[in-house]
A and B are shown apart, each in its own frame.
Chain A
Amino acid sequence: MARSVTPRRKLLNTTAAWAIGLLIFFPILWTILTSFKTEAQAIAAPPIFLGFDWTLENYRVVLERSDYARFLWNSIIIAGLSTLIGVAIAVPAAWSMAFVPSKRTKDILLWMLSTKMLPAVGVLYPIYLLFIQLGLLDSRAGLVVVLMLINLPIIVWMLYTYFKEIPGEILEAARMDGATLPQELLYVLTPMAIPGIASTMLLNFILAWNEAFWTLNLTAVNAAPLTAFIASYSSPEGLFFAKLSAASTMAIAPILILGWFSQKQLVRGLTFGAVK
């Protein structure tokens, strides 16, 4: 509903919007700035905003001391694999629901959504127990499976809404020309669906990367991703603002950058097509 306004009004709106934007972004900016300070400067009173001696020391210390690479690697593996497997399972399902809908398609979609609503804490002990018995506790494989399952409904839903936008006539035409089902999937559907699949993967990678209930409760040392690594800084002896900031910046930077690309998909993915 954008309309034309007077320049004065535009300037006023711009000022207000930037002020609010910067206020909301400030905690992130402050974390990034603090990560380049020395520990003394990080807690200096009054606080120093820009006029400090920029240093990379905190990053060096965090990287050296804490096995950061292993946590990072765990995050990448867990978020990446759970997304890939989830998409591999969801593409055929979403394809069939979008192009061969039956009376029960809607019910199945809604039921899938309902599994997402199950409060994690309600099934914490069963999962914990199953993990112990299957030897999956503190293993990357176990977390990949759990995160894949909790995000599977969102993946199916997002893909479904994207596939719905592909006109069925094109697929029909391909079939008329004698394309077999696998050919139809691979050569006709896939190229048109790639943007939607990519957006879906992006958003789910972000969600899996930031997941902090199962990753905190089902890992200890070996499989702990960055969420758990950061949580380990909550102990009092870890209270060094600059190092905490450096560790935090490294944990959120990749996702902030990916997130900027996924703004649009965010609405689609998290409202299940109810807001367009």
Chain B
Amino acid sequence: MATKASRSAARLMMAPAVILLLGWMLVPLIMTLWFSFRVYLPLRGGDQGWAGFDNYIRFVTSSAFWPSVQTTLIIVIGVLAITVIFGILIALLLDQPIWGQGVVRILVIAPFFVMPTVSALVWKNMFMDPVNGLFSHLWRFFGAEPVSWLSDASLPSIIMIVSWQWLPFATLILLTAVQSLDSEQLEAAEMDGAPWHKRFWFLVLPHLSRAITIVILIQTIFLLAIFAEIFVTTGGAFGTRTLSYLIFQRVLESQNVGLGSAGGVYAIILANIVAIFLMRIVGKNLD
């Protein structure tokens, strides 16, 4: 349907979005790459020349690096496991005929709309505070010693807060996928006497596999970058310093821009590895 005139008009209309995003991607990226090869300490002498690969080597050999990788992995895998498993269960439950389904759906989705700083602070103070938090009341009620959640069980606490924020996302997407499942197939299997766990394993789960993959990929990209939840709860203390938080500290807190930028390049490479898989799936869907 496209004429030559409409083609050039189309290109023109695309131009602002493309140029802006190109600038937004390239300018900071090139600057980060540049800084990562410099000895750059803005508060202690500024740009002091070429560093070669020193920053890259120093970043991975510093004592903070491997713990931060470990912390990142524990948080990402922990949150993924919780949100995917509970997301599937809740999606299957919400798919059943129930009274007040619309309201329950809203209740389940609500945490997604709470801004990260609010959910982090509410959990930190009103639930996890060792003196006045609800958990401490609950623990005392059962005669147990209250736990200093964010210092003594810091990683499980962060995983819990972040899982609470992301469970709605997983549930909603998995619910959408469950609803597109062919019910006749399931009924046929049921009539043939297939027990529920077999129906789940051989019919439901394969049908959900694509949605599960997408949930895992999208969440991984966002979870690698969680910031506010750590910033307002522990500030990176008590073993909660993730890779992105470590980079943030190198860049803005200790103002070692060269070192932080090298870390930033690592983070960009890591995110891109995940992104490639996501793009493949999304790309297939475009055809």
Contact = CB atoms under 8 A, between A and B. Distances in A.
B97 to A, nearest CB: 6
Contacts, number: 325
Given A115-B21, A121-B244, A226 B214 contact: no
B194 interface: no
Contact of B20 (A47, A109, A152, A271): A152
B121 to A, nearest CB: 6
B28 A2 contact: no
A97 B123 CA distance: 44
5 smallest CB-CB distances across A and B, nearest first, come from: A96-B10, A92-B13, A123-B28, A259-B113, A122-B264
A114 B225 contact: no
13 contacts: A1-B179, A2-B179, A14-B100, A30-B126, A31-B126, A95-B13, A102-B7, A119-B267, A122-B247, A125-B257, A128-B252, A152-B21, A233-B121
Interface string A159-187: 00000000010001000000001000000
Interface string A12-25: 01101110111011
B73 interface: no
A123 B248 CA distance: 10
Interface string B107-144: 11111111111110111111100001010010011000
Given A2-B95, A126-B29, 5 more contacts: A17-B98, A24-B111, A93-B13, A122-B29, A275-B176
B262 to A, nearest CB: 10
B110 A213 contact: no
Interface string A100-136: 1010001011101111011111111111111000000
Interface of A: 1-5, 10, 13-14, 16-18, 20-22, 24-25, 27-28, 30-31, 34, 43, 45-47, 89-90, 92-93, 95-97, 99-100, 102, 106, 108-110, 112-115, 117-130, 149, 152-153, 156, 168, 172, 181, 206, 209-210, 212-213, 216-217, 226-228, 230-231, 233-234, 239, 241, 244-245, 248, 251-252, 255-256, 258-260, 263, 266-267, 270-276
Contacts of B14: 92-93, 96-97, 108
Contact of B25 (A99, A115, A210, A213): A115
Interface string B172-207: 110011111111001100000000000000000000
B278 to A, nearest CB: 8
